[in-house]
Structure 1
Amino acid sequence: MKQIKFAVLLVVLFTSFYNYAQQGPPANNKVKVTGKVFEKISKQPLEYATISITAPNDTKVIAGGITNPKGEFDVAVAPGTYDIKVEFISFKSTEIKGRTIQGDTNLGVVNLSEDAAQLNEVVVRAEKSTVEIKLDKKVYNVGQDMMVKGGTVSDVLDNVPSVSVDTEGNVSLRGSDNIRILIDGRPSNAINVAEALRQLPADAIDKVEVITNPSARYDAEGGSGLINIILKKGKNQGVNGTFIASTGIPETYGASANLNYKTEKVNYFTTAGYNYRTNEGGGLTNTEYFKADKSTKGYLDEDRDTKRTNEGFNGRAGIEWTIAPNTFWTNAINYQKSTGDTRDLINYNNFDAAHTFTGTSFRLNNGDTDSENVEYTSNLIKNFNDKGHKLTADLSVSRNTDDSNSIISGSQNFNNTLNDQVQKQIQLQADYVLPLGEGSQFEAGYKGSFGDLNNEYLITDNKGVKDDKLSNTLEYKENINAIYTQYGFKVNKFSYLFGLRWEDTNIQVNLLDNNDFNTKKYNNLFPSAFISYEISEQSSFSASYSKRLSRPRGRFMNPATNYSSNVNIFQGNPDLDPSLTDKYDIGYIKRWDKVTFNTSAYFENTKDVFSFVRTPTGSVVDSEGNVVTPTPENPVEDGIPVILSRPINLGREQKFGFEFTLNYTPLKKWRINSNFNIYNVKTTGSNTYTDNKGNVVVQDLDNQATTWFARINSKLTLPYKIDWQLSGVYNGEQKTAQGKNLGQFAMNTAFSKDVLKDKATIAFNISDIFNSRIMRSYTYLQNDTTLESQTSYGEMQFRKRQFNLSFTYRFNKPKNDREKNGAPKNEGGGDGGGEFPG
């Protein structure tokens, strides 16, 4: 009922705007000059081309503008005779002399050719903002960010507005980790996405797109939105490229190269990189245990020290072939290989009720990992004309392996764990875009995703005997077929986009060791609607709705027990169901000469939301460090309770928030961008479980909390052309159903200097200057059967402060060369399609 009222309110609001638009503002004496700017060879639109209108034989610009993603421009000018100039960086400009403009005039298509002389001069003519704010998404241009030099994709994402990365590498958008991560428009095929993002170097990334409310052309998965990571691929004629070398403290070093060779019909591109990284982290958990009468029973202090090393290689090579002036075929192979070692030492110190030390034990986890990812992608684009009529087809085939082995030793025990995973994935997609007139277009498409994951998890004791309770073999098969259609059109200053997507899902979750076979089949319709109103050339208003879905994957589904701690353990839940989210978003954007401001109010209503719950297992860790189950004959009065954390479908989550993003250029040499997000989350639901004595226990997990997130980034050019960048981020405190997460602050800085006639750049950055990026939390847990309880304070730091120095060398490539929108626009773009009309 609330959703219907909300929809009615939106309709009334839109109708009011529409009536105003029909009446229109007072007429003036200006006319419009319109047209399109394309790349001459590929016939693809050029975004950010500059249009300047001057009086004949005069250099003073009377009016001007830039092209949109479709290459279109729209400039208002008084009737008269003018010279019109069209320019784009590294392209030959075009001039139209003495053109008489008496009424609205369409100049048609202006084709620009690349200027080989400019490409070899390495001249900086323009610099794109680090963050571009658009009505339907935010675009973060990685090349301008010194903070991430020598870093990884995780570092890149941690600088993107609305996005944050926690200490374990998990990515969240607007405070929610219920998102979908794409690479070149395709879902990441990695088994462990967080780890895969830490393996891919930042130097391989061109830009990141953040789409908080995707349309029907995108996968329905990702309740809070999409993050699309676009890889580099050169567009300049001839041979060009970039070499980067870096080193850092703690011990880190790496080298990478991006090479490109382009002729009139063929473009060869390749990226290769090697890196060795050391991450030093740690944490603690201090727990106080209470008896049923609330008196103190004892204390346990856990101290963790972690050191991870990783050695990795990544490579990407491909060919883009211009089969015909309007047909493009791109084939690429991506390869990643990494090996790593982990040393995780936990010391346990026990105290009695008077906090008198009673004993100590330890747990040492020595592990190694080995992963290999191979993916072949193919993308074909057929442009039927230069008005956006096109057909695209995509194919992706991948195989990923992820193996890890650990020897877990303690004061009195010894275990060996083996976790081997193999995943195979095939994706097929076709998209068709048909313009139906000025400002309107029709889209339709199909996507098939077929995956198979086999996970063998084995735990043995010091005698090599298998632990049947904790070991298992998981077989996960997922087949998804989807079709979509959407139609967009423009009426006066209103733009509309309505879409519908249908997805059919067939999932098998099989536990082979105990012959437990589960099949989940479901299909859903996912409608979407977007309406925008152009208040003026500098400001716009938008409203949108979409239905989204989140499927449980990875560690959420895998029942394998994380055995790194024998007191606090984690286990996946293979019986999880998907969650469905209704998303509403109202946005406003305003541009001034030096400022771009974007704000939005959003509401998300999620059913069957995933939530982690902590419950007592009934087992305890005795004074010798062994996990045992107390019995009347062996009560183990001084044992430490073993707590299990696992995901469940909790119930309903409602989130309401406001977000503000601001780009400000106070001076030509100084740019500031900032992002602020505040939201309230209300969760309702309960968890029912049976304890070790057969009692049915119901946990009330209702919770409501308000929290906020803020980031500010400043880039200033100092004397001697030294660039200085400084950023700060703060995550506010948030209450949870079983405790609270405390606020967290971090600050980064970087300096860079161009050398060798601007062909090279030296950059130095410090990540987490104050070593303050630590996740702190309080947890309260009660055993509803015995009424015993415990309170814990925990700290976790995945990575301590780091220093990094990098050297970049470019040849035949301008420092700030932006990727031309040549073929294809959605390079390997999987979820591509047309643009929002208007």
Structure 2
Amino acid sequence: MKIYLAALCVFCLTFATAQRQEDKDITIKGKIVEDGTNYPLEYATVAFIDTEGNIVTGGITDLNGEYTVMISPGVYTVQFEFISYKTERLTNQRFTKDTTLPTVSLALDSESLDEVVVRAETTEVVVRLDKKIYNIGKDLTTSGATVSDALNNVPSVTVDVEGAISLRGNENVRILINGKPSAIAGFGSTDALRQLPADAIDRVEVITSPSARYDAEGTAGILNIILKKEKTLGLNGSFTANYGVPLSSGFTGNINLRTDKFNIFNTTGVRYNNSPGNAFFENRYFSPSVANPLVIEDRDYNRLRKGFNTNLGIEYFINDKSSITASGFYRLGDNETETVNTTNEFNSQNNLALTRLRTENEGEEDDSYQFSLNYINRFNEDGHELKIDAQYENDKEIEKSLIEERNTFPSTVILPSEDITSIETETELLLQADYVLPLGENAQFEAGIRGNYEESITDYELLEEDGTSGVFVRNSDLSNVFTYNENVNAVYSQYGNKFGQFSFLLGLRLENTQLKGKVEANTANNPIEANLNFDKNYTGLFPTVNLIYELGERENVTLGYNRRINRPRGFFINPFPSRSSEANVFQGNPNLDPAYASAFDLGYLRRWDKLTLTASIYYQHETDAFERIQEDTGEVTSNGIPIIRTIPINLSTNQRYGFEAGMLYNPLKWLRLNGSFNFFKFVTDGFFNEVDYGAENTSWFARFSSKISLPAKIDWQTNAFYRGPSNNAQTESEGILSLNLAFSKDIMDDNGTLAFNVSDLLNSRKRISTTTTDTFISENEFQWRERQFTLSFTYRFNQKKQRDRGRRDDGNGGDDEGEGFEGKP
């Protein structure tokens, strides 16, 4: 492999050199930065103008503010421009050989700020060596929506009806905020993303072939959510208020104050939502010993969500090369959920034998905070820099549930109630340092160290009523304290270089993982078995290879390889079952081991004036893959109904093949089209309890979006999504169709925007599936949230609608976090 790589590098270098000599052109290079801060300006333009005033050629700057332009020898005026900055010129420059121009500094043009328009319309997707970057700030359908809703509009990403996020059909995806694990996204759960406003997002990075800088967690890849932070001097910001039916209300404010020495930024939001949902289960048992073999459950969910969140930070510019950023995040949630479960049991003659009503009232208080500190020192303008990060997070969640149950047919019988209290406390400490050293003109070396230390303590207490006396007694068999620790220490290094049209980034990461679990539920009469406790240690090497070859100025091919790990989260390991249903429970598996995957990705990008096309072919081989199975526990309810358990297990192998394609097309100034298609096949092999769970699943999903600019400053957007049928060893799921519609109108001299959107216009976003085993068949339907209508208003001050004046590191793990060396596609 090394021989082939070396040969390819020599070939590309020889080809580029020969081509240059044939054309007899010369190369002009340079860099453009922001005046006063020396931050590189991405997408700034460089134009070469001849003595007659004609633009002969030009180019744009890359992520590092650098440009490379081929021209014929001669005399030119070089013009440097960037939107909302003053234009600079170098006049009457004679070029006879390859030349590197002095770094040019562009100053903000305060007089032109009010004339800034949407620049990002022409840069919907940016392709790097290891990621695709999507600017979703212009998505009208996310107005008044949550981060979880917004992710469902990103190509390659799907969010199911329960909020589980998948990348290319694989749920083992790592969620980062500004390049780091964060309480903002939740610890091992995506529920927190349903509580944050989509208006806080700047863009989403889809990282299917992560470089060695990123931790190796997530076999599917990484979704890095970059939050907004304004970069314009002075005071500016925006406010958004929304109201929806069913009840959905919220207010979000973004405010920023920047001077030459510091930048203060804050995003604060409040919400008050009532989200109804429903579910249906039909279980038919084959055993003749079951008196009532047909059990039908109807569930209605009524969820009241009240919350507050704020993110406050300050970046202090120590000098023109270094800065320090301190930020704090706080989230407060107060949620109430009522679940009404009506169960009808039918005998072997299909006659109604029993009706039972089970009501669960759950209250949840969520209190999270996070503190982070970032230091960056840019030793020079060539990318030589050091970053140091420290982050501490704490999340406390208190859930209290009262479950009441009674038979309503053939007679009314009050059954004992259950009183459940679950207190979950999670803490995480992150320490990280990254060092980048440029080596010559195109090469770069990077190294770093990282420690991530998490602890989760779940204190679960179940009180059962003694008959119907109103006296509750602790159930020591199920009450417990479960402590779970995950400690990960890592070091990495990577090296990148560019030879003509060929770029590469090679990396290696070493990670040591310690997983510890401890159950404390011992009583004098009921000692918990010691095998529920565990202490596991894993050390692994995780290589990454990312290659890119430029077929032309607007066309390239990429190839990526990486090895990843999927660590079981606390929810998957906690051995005590859920209590929402008497006969259908979820139970964690403390014997779960991490899964490992090797993945390959071959990508293609082609840009035309109005059309951008991306395509990828990918393959992944995963060992000890997680799979949720359903099985009969052998236990029955008080009424003799078998208890069915859903449990995650390690299966031997899981192979995934897939193809995806995306299209961005702007045929007219008033029409923008966006579509993507993803086809994949899973092949699973494995046994559990002498049952073969091997299966093949072929499925696909597609999305399409159109945005039309109407007269009177009205925009109309339609988003359609369809996920095809899928299956595993036990369950077949039907396809899901979802359609969103949105309109917006700019008012108040473009400082304000009114928006109206309909989420799930057809009310069709439901999961419908059938599970078949040797002992039962289960059909179910689940709808997390019903069709939603939302009206929102946004007001901006000292900024125009969706202004995007370029990218740079935001000092908070933002714009270039995790990028390292980049090819120049």
Q: Into which bin does the TM-score normalised by the smaller protein fall?
A: over 0.9
Q: What is the CA deviation profile of residues 381-432 of structure 1, one whole-angstrom value per residue up to 9, with x for unaligned ones?
A: 0000000000000000111101111111111231111110111111100000
The whole-number CA distance in structure 2 between the counterparts of 1:827 and 1:14 is: 34
Indicate if the aligned counterparts of 1:379 and 1:392 stay in contact, CA closer than 8 A. Answer: yes
Q: What is the CA deviation profile of residues 138-164 of structure 1, one whole-angstrom value per residue up to 9, with x for unaligned ones?
A: 222232111111111101111111111
Q: What is the CA deviation profile of residues 772-818 of structure 1, one whole-angstrom value per residue up to 9, with x for unaligned ones?
A: 10011110022xxxxxx221211111011101111111111122222
Out of 503, 511, 514, the residue aligned to residue 495 of structure 1 is 503
Q: TM-score, normalised by structure 2?
A: 0.93
- Residue matched to 1:468: 476
Q: What is the CA deviation profile of residues 40-69 of structure 1, one whole-angstrom value per residue up to 9, with x for unaligned ones?
A: 2221211111223333463x5432332111
Matched, 1:835 2:817: no
Written as runs of structure 1 = structure 2, the 5 A alignment for 1:799-810 is 799-810=785-796
The whole-number CA distance in structure 2 between the counterparts of 1:79 and 1:50 is: 20
- Residue matched to 1:124: 117
Matched, 1:568 2:584: yes
Written as runs of structure 1 = structure 2, the 5 A alignment for 1:242-281 is 242-281=238-277
Q: What is the CA deviation profile of residues 348-370 of structure 1, one whole-angstrom value per residue up to 9, with x for unaligned ones?
A: 11222332222211211111100
Identity of aligned residues (%): 40
- Residue matched to 1:416: 419
Q: Tell me how far 1:671 sits from its aligned partner.
A: 1.4
Indicate if the aligned counterparts of 1:218 and 1:831 stay in contact, CA closer than 8 A. Answer: no
- Residue matched to 2:595: 579
The whole-number CA distance in structure 1 between the counterparts of 2:632 and 2:767 is: 23
Q: What is the CA deviation profile of residues 575-612 of structure 1, one whole-angstrom value per residue up to 9, with x for unaligned ones?
A: 21111111111111111111111111111111111111
Out of 597, 600, 603, the residue aligned to residue 613 of structure 2 is 597
Q: Which amino acid is 2:751 matched to?
A: K
Q: Tell me how far 1:827 sits from its aligned partner.
A: 3.5
- Residue matched to 1:435: 438
Written as runs of structure 1 = structure 2, the 5 A alignment for 1:477-516 is 477-513=485-521, 514=528, 516=532
- Residue matched to 1:140: 134
Number of equivalences: 797
The whole-number CA distance in structure 1 between the counterparts of 2:583 and 2:82 is: 62
For residues 512 and 298 of structure 1, do their structure 2 counterparts lie closer, same or farther at Cα, with a shift above 3 Å needed? closer
The whole-number CA distance in structure 1 between the counterparts of 2:491 and 2:478 is: 41
For residues 35 and 571 of structure 1, do their structure 2 counterparts lie closer, same or farther at Cα, with a shift above 3 Å needed? same
The whole-number CA distance in structure 1 between the counterparts of 2:535 and 2:93 is: 68
Indicate if the aligned counterparts of 1:479 and 1:505 stay in contact, CA closer than 8 A. Answer: yes
Indicate if the aligned counterparts of 1:207 and 1:230 stay in contact, CA closer than 8 A. Answer: yes
- Residue matched to 1:644: 645
The whole-number CA distance in structure 1 between the counterparts of 2:473 and 2:627 is: 34
Written as runs of structure 1 = structure 2, the 5 A alignment for 1:106-505 is 106-119=100-113, 121=114, 123-124=116-117, 126-129=119-122, 131-135=124-128, 136-189=130-183, 190-191=186-187, 193-291=189-287, 298-411=293-406, 412-462=415-465, 463-505=471-513
Indicate if the aligned counterparts of 1:562 and 1:571 stay in contact, CA closer than 8 A. Answer: yes
For residues 829 and 237 of structure 1, do their structure 2 counterparts lie closer, same or farther at Cα, with a shift above 3 Å needed? closer
The whole-number CA distance in structure 2 between the counterparts of 1:830 and 1:32 is: 27
Q: Tell me how far 1:641 sits from its aligned partner.
A: 1.4
The whole-number CA distance in structure 1 between the counterparts of 2:117 and 2:8 is: 47
Matched, 1:613 2:613: no
The whole-number CA distance in structure 1 between the counterparts of 2:537 and 2:118 is: 55
Task: Give 3-state SS (helix, strand or coil) of 2:145's partner.
Answer: coil
- Residue matched to 2:524: none
- Residue matched to 2:409: none
Q: Tell me how far 1:14 sits from its aligned partner.
A: 8.6
The whole-number CA distance in structure 2 between the counterparts of 1:837 and 1:140 is: 18
For residues 133 and 268 of structure 1, do their structure 2 counterparts lie closer, same or farther at Cα, with a shift above 3 Å needed? closer
The whole-number CA distance in structure 2 between the counterparts of 1:367 and 1:771 is: 26
Q: TM-score, normalised by structure 1?
A: 0.92
- Residue matched to 2:63: 69
Indicate if the aligned counterparts of 2:680 and 2:698 stay in contact, CA closer than 8 A. Answer: yes
**More moved, 126-135 vs 510-519:** 126-135
Q: Which amino acid is 1:134 matched to?
A: V
Indicate if the aligned counterparts of 1:431 and 1:832 stay in contact, CA closer than 8 A. Answer: no
Out of 527, 534, 539, the residue aligned to residue 518 of structure 1 is 534
Written as runs of structure 1 = structure 2, the 5 A alignment for 1:738-753 is 738-753=730-745
For residues 664 and 363 of structure 1, do their structure 2 counterparts lie closer, same or farther at Cα, with a shift above 3 Å needed? same
Out of 66, 80, 86, the residue aligned to residue 92 of structure 1 is 86
Q: Which amino acid is 1:676 matched to?
A: F
Q: What is the CA deviation profile of residues 305-343 of structure 1, one whole-angstrom value per residue up to 9, with x for unaligned ones?
A: 111011100011111000011001000010000110001
Structure 2 residues without counterparts, runs of 5 or longer: 407-414, 466-470, 522-527
The whole-number CA distance in structure 1 between the counterparts of 2:684 and 2:351 is: 40
Q: Tell me how far 1:501 sits from its aligned partner.
A: 0.6
- Residue matched to 1:629: none
The whole-number CA distance in structure 2 between the counterparts of 1:781 and 1:246 is: 46
Indicate if the aligned counterparts of 1:130 and 1:142 stay in contact, CA closer than 8 A. Answer: no
- Residue matched to 1:3: none
Q: Tell me how far 1:29 sits from its aligned partner.
A: 4.5
Structure 1 residues without counterparts, runs of 5 or longer: 1-7, 624-638, 689-697, 783-788
Out of 797, 818, 821, the residue aligned to residue 811 of structure 1 is 797
Q: Which amino acid is 1:131 matched to?
A: E
The whole-number CA distance in structure 2 between the counterparts of 1:731 and 1:14 is: 43
Q: Tell me how far 1:78 sits from its aligned partner.
A: 3.5
Indicate if the aligned counterparts of 2:766 and 2:782 stay in contact, CA closer than 8 A. Answer: yes
Indicate if the aligned counterparts of 2:809 and 2:817 stay in contact, CA closer than 8 A. Answer: no
For residues 72 and 11 of structure 1, do their structure 2 counterparts lie closer, same or farther at Cα, with a shift above 3 Å needed? same
For residues 819 and 254 of structure 1, do their structure 2 counterparts lie closer, same or farther at Cα, with a shift above 3 Å needed? farther
Q: Which amino acid is 2:438 matched to?
A: P
Indicate if the aligned counterparts of 2:325 and 2:812 stay in contact, CA closer than 8 A. Answer: no
CA RMSD of aligned residues (A): 2.1
The whole-number CA distance in structure 1 between the counterparts of 2:257 and 2:52 is: 40
Q: Which amino acid is 1:442 matched to?
A: F
Indicate if the aligned counterparts of 1:546 and 1:584 stay in contact, CA closer than 8 A. Answer: yes
The whole-number CA distance in structure 1 between the counterparts of 2:670 and 2:59 is: 22
Q: Which amino acid is 1:758 matched to?
A: D
Out of 724, 737, 743, the residue aligned to residue 716 of structure 2 is 724
For residues 40 and 435 of structure 1, do their structure 2 counterparts lie closer, same or farther at Cα, with a shift above 3 Å needed? same
The whole-number CA distance in structure 1 between the counterparts of 2:172 and 2:429 is: 23
The whole-number CA distance in structure 2 between the counterparts of 1:132 and 1:646 is: 39
Matched, 1:588 2:582: no
The whole-number CA distance in structure 2 between the counterparts of 1:15 and 1:658 is: 29
Q: Which amino acid is 1:277 matched to?
A: N
For residues 56 and 671 of structure 1, do their structure 2 counterparts lie closer, same or farther at Cα, with a shift above 3 Å needed? farther
Q: Tell me how far 1:643 sits from its aligned partner.
A: 0.1
Q: Tell me how far 1:131 sits from its aligned partner.
A: 3.3
Out of 688, 697, 700, the residue aligned to residue 705 of structure 1 is 697
Q: Which amino acid is 1:386 matched to?
A: E
Q: Tell me how far 1:123 sits from its aligned partner.
A: 3.4
Indicate if the aligned counterparts of 1:375 and 1:399 stay in contact, CA closer than 8 A. Answer: yes
Task: Give 3-state SS (helix, strand or coil) of 1:143's partner.
Answer: coil
Task: Give 3-state SS (helix, strand or coil) of 1:22's partner.
Answer: helix
Indicate if the aligned counterparts of 1:39 and 1:822 stay in contact, CA closer than 8 A. Answer: no
